[in-house]
Structure 1
Amino acid sequence: MRAVRIEEFGGPEVLVPVEVPDPVPGPGQVLVRIAAAGVNRADALLRAGSYHRAGRPPLIPGAEAAGTVAALGEGVTGFRVGQPVIAFGGAESPGYYAESAAVSARQVAARPDGLDPVEAATLPIAWLSAWYCLRSLAKVTAGETVVVKAAASGVGTAAVQIAAEAGARVVALAGSAERSAWAGEFGADVVVDTSRHTDDGEVEEVLRLTGGRGADVVLDTVGGPSLRRSLCETAHGGRVVSLANVALAPTTLDTRDFYPKNIAILGFQLTNLQIHGYDPRPDLRELAERVAAGRYRVPVETVLPLERAREAHERLESRGNRGKIVLSVA
């Protein structure tokens, strides 16, 4: 079968189209014929050798995909050949930049009728992260104020919609006038162009927008120095959810920014959560059903054929994309 493989760690040029043996499902596995695979920053970190769970090359990247069931391994029930499914990554993930993948049945969820595989392939990472952080960790409720950082990102646009549907007042922060305006198209009540503010100015703007009180929930998808600002932007008894460090920088905290306000700091990392018992399938099914019903809009900017994975990574790392980048495998 066709696949794209990392032969050695490095830049996008190390993504090499190859022919590899067809996978065969073992006991407890589902063979998924892949139609589309999502492209994520975790894939780029894996390619560069910077991902915290990176193995050794050769490696096939890709942590989310959609397709159909091609075969069932021994002992697998609940699926049928030809069934539309969504596959997601985890400790046992084989990598989805390929025509097929033999994956544990625990990492496969049914795909609702009417949900396009390109849209479905974008759900297991960004959308599931936003869903879990807001609903299970922060437990956002109607009337609360939610600040979403990097609101024009994949997690950000998902979080804006999920928080808005919950009845929250959403303040979307993004790093340019264009990106902040775009984030506003997904249901944010207020948008902030953070490029117009210093770090302290960002905090002052959030406090101004919340009447000096601060936000009930801050979803920090940036990390590094941003986390300190998030604590300053949070109200008494509020929650800060930290789920990334795309800044790739350390965070220096002053405990006086959070303990006097009784703030809860909640960490999130999807793969580690699964290792410790979280089963994403019920949440993923509910998300997929809502997208299929038109309750959420999944922005897909670029769809490229599998062989152009290098170009997809170049586009991703230029930070010029608005919406998801997906590889078409069919």
Structure 2
Amino acid sequence: MRAARCTTYGPPGDLTVAHLDDPEPGPGEVLVRVHAAAVNFPDVLIVANRYQVPAPLPFTPGSEFAGTVAALGPGVTGPPVGTPVAGAVLTGAFAEQVVVPAASLRGIPEGLDMVHAAAFHVTYATAYHSLVTVAGGTEGEWAVVLGAAGGVGTAAVDIGTRLGLRVIAAASSEERLTVARKLGAAGGVDYVREDLKARIRELSGEGAHLAIDPVGGRYAEAALRGLRRGGRFVTVGYADGEIPRIPLNLVLLKDLVVRGFEIRTVRQYAPDAVAEADRTLARLVREGMRPLVSRVHPLDDVAAALTDVAERRTTGKVVLDLERG
């Protein structure tokens, strides 16, 4: 099979595509023929050895995929060969085949093709749980979404709007804010050129009820200051490359709640919330919700695709189509 390979830690431009032996599923595992794999910012961090969980060299990067079941390992009774599935792994998705634990696979919501299925679960589940499970967002509340034109950001704007929240999109340019407005954002803030705290308060009145931050860096504190008393702030990731240091006196004086969300462990500690999220997201897909996929590349373009994501030249999601030559 063909697969992207990382042989030295560093920039994504160093990735190559190589021929490897076809993998075989072991006990409890499933072999999946990968049709499409999404590019996520953590993939960039893993390739650079800057992620919280290291990947030993050499390895095939890629964490999110959609495809069909090709073979079952010993002791596995399903899903049957040929079943469309989606899944997430730490590494291994940027390949024509991947072996994963059977329990980690999930069905593809009705209405999604393989490209959109690959782009769906990680960002949309992250956005849903950040907005609802962790922040407790409800209809009518004001919700700030930082990095609103990125993968998690567009998903949060999309879901939040569909669930009746009034979303304030925060992004680094008017062009990126236009993307968020098309997804239903009630207002926008160009946080490079505008005062983020002041604009949040101007748009929401007393301040926003909650903020979702997949970016980190210097804008996290401004978003926190833009919350009303009792507001909720959810830290999701650090695409900016800088982990913010929040003055705790802000939390004390305004009775704020600061929480974090990490997609890899949610099934372990909140299975009921995961089931509810799956039902809600499947319903929204049936009603027409689709992830924003801005670019689709063949596997041979993997280095360029990751570089574009690393340098923030994209909006929504970037996907590798393993069926394209």
| Band the TM-score falls in, shorter-chain normalisation | over 0.9
Match of 1:162 in 2: 159
1:187 corresponds to which of 174, 184, 205: 184
Match of 2:209 in 1: 216
Q: CA deviation at 1:35?
A: 0.0
Match of 2:15 in 1: 15
| 2:224 counterpart letter in structure 1 | L
Q: 3-state DSSP class of the match of 1:195? A: coil
Sequence identity percentage: 37
| 1:8 counterpart letter in structure 2 | T
Q: CA deviation at 1:119?
A: 0.2
With normalisation by structure 1, the TM-score equals: 0.92
Please state if 1:125 is matched with 2:118.
Answer: no
Distance 1:142 1:253, change over 3 A: same
Match of 1:6 in 2: 6
1:60-79 aligned at under 5 Å gives the runs 60-79=60-79
Give distance in 2, aligned partners of 1:223 and 1:103. 31
User: Alpha-carbon deviations, 1:199-254, whole Å to 9, x = none?
Assistant: xx21111112122x111111112213222222211111111011111222242322
Distance 1:281 1:14, change over 3 A: farther
With normalisation by structure 2, the TM-score equals: 0.93
User: Alpha-carbon deviations, 1:152-204, whole Å to 9, x = none?
Assistant: 1111111011111221111111111111122100011111222222xxx2111
Q: How many residues are paired up? A: 323
Please state if 1:263 is matched with 2:260.
Answer: no
The answer to whether the 8 Å contact 1:232/1:258 transfers is no
Give distance in 1, aligned partners of 2:57 and 2:273. 28
Q: CA deviation at 1:288?
A: 5.9
1:100-139 aligned at under 5 Å gives the runs 100-139=97-136
1:202 corresponds to which of 172, 196, 199: 196
Match of 1:237 in 2: 230
Match of 2:149 in 1: 152
The answer to whether the 8 Å contact 1:111/1:288 transfers is no
1:73-92 aligned at under 5 Å gives the runs 73-89=73-89
Q: CA deviation at 1:78?
A: 4.2
Distance 1:274 1:292, change over 3 A: closer
Distance 1:284 1:115, change over 3 A: farther
User: Alpha-carbon deviations, 1:91-131, whole Å to 9, x = none?
Assistant: xx451010111100121001134420000001232211101
The answer to whether the 8 Å contact 1:94/1:102 transfers is no
Give distance in 2, aligned partners of 1:194 and 1:323. 18
Please state if 1:304 is matched with 2:297.
Answer: yes
The answer to whether the 8 Å contact 2:128/2:277 transfers is no
Give distance in 1, aligned partners of 2:137 and 2:183. 18
Q: 3-state DSSP class of the match of 2:192? A: helix
Gaps of 5+ in 1: none
